[in-house]
Amino acid sequence: MPMKTKAFSETLALSWSAIKASPLRTVLTSLIISFGIMALVGILSATDALKQSLESNFTSLGANTLTLRNSQGGFFAGGANRRQNPAISYRQAKAFKDRMAFAGAKTSLTYVAGGAEQLNYGNRSTNPNNMVTAADENYLYTGGFELAEGRNFTADDVQRGKNYVILGNETKTTLFGEASAVGKTVKMRGKPYMVVGVLAEKGNSGMFSGDRGAWVTITYARANFTAGRPNYTLSVNAPSAPLLDAVQGQCTALMRSVRKLKPKEENNFYIIRSDSIAKSLIDNLGMVTTGAFIIGIITLLGASIALMNIMLVSVTERTREIGTRKALGATKKSISTQFLGEAVVITQLGGWTGIVFGIIIGNVVANMVDGQFFIPWTWITVAFILSIGVGLLAGWYPASKAAALNPVDALRHE
pLDDT in tens, 76-90: 433 444 456 889 999
pLDDT at 81: 45
249-260 burial, b for 16+ CB within 10 Å, e for fewer? ebbeebbbebbe
29-47: average pLDDT = 77
Region for residue 213 given its phi and psi (left: phi exceeds 0; alpha: psi -120 to 50; beta: otherwise): left
Query: How far is it, in rounded angstroms, from Cα 7 to Cα 14?
Result: 11
**Angstrom distances, CA of residue 103 to CA of 119, 150, 240:** 39, 29, 11
182-207: average pLDDT = 84
pLDDT tens per residue, range 116-129: 889 999 999 999 88
Please list, in sequence order, all residues whose beta carbon lies within 8 angstroms of the beta carbon of residue 273, skipping any fewer than 6 positions away: 65, 66, 67, 244, 248
Please list, in sequence order, all residues whose beta carbon lies within 8 angstroms of the beta carbon of residue 158, skipping any fewer than 6 positions away: 136, 137, 217, 218, 219
pLDDT at 277: 62
Tell me if 33 sits within 8 A of 41, measured CB to CB: no
Mean pLDDT is lowest, of 44-48, 276-280, 303-307, for 276-280
Task: Identify which has the larger pLDDT, 215 or 296.
Answer: 215
Residue 29: in which H helix or E strand, if any? helix 23-60
Q: Give the confidence band of 360 by pLDDT, cuts at 50, 70, 90.
A: confident
Q: Residue 301's CB: how many other CB atoms inside 10 A?
A: 14
**Angstrom distances, CA of residue 97 to CA of 66, 112, 137:** 13, 18, 12
Please give the angle made by the CA atoms of 216, 232 and 103, to the nearest 5 degrees. 90
Domain locations along the chain: 2-57+279-412, 86-268
Query: How far is it, in rounded angstroms, from Cα 65 to Cα 271?
Result: 10
CA 96 from centre of chain: 35
Query: How far is it, in rounded angstroms, from Cα 241 to Cα 64?
Result: 5
pLDDT tens per residue, range 166-194: 999 999 999 999 999 999 999 998 899 99
Tell me if 206 sits within 8 A of 111, measured CB to CB: no
276-280: average pLDDT = 64
Residues found in the chain: 414
Predicted structure pTM score: 0.57
Residue 321 predicted with pLDDT over 90: no
Region for residue 228 given its phi and psi (left: phi exceeds 0; alpha: psi -120 to 50; beta: otherwise): left
Query: How far is it, in rounded angstroms, from Cα 306 to Cα 127?
Result: 57
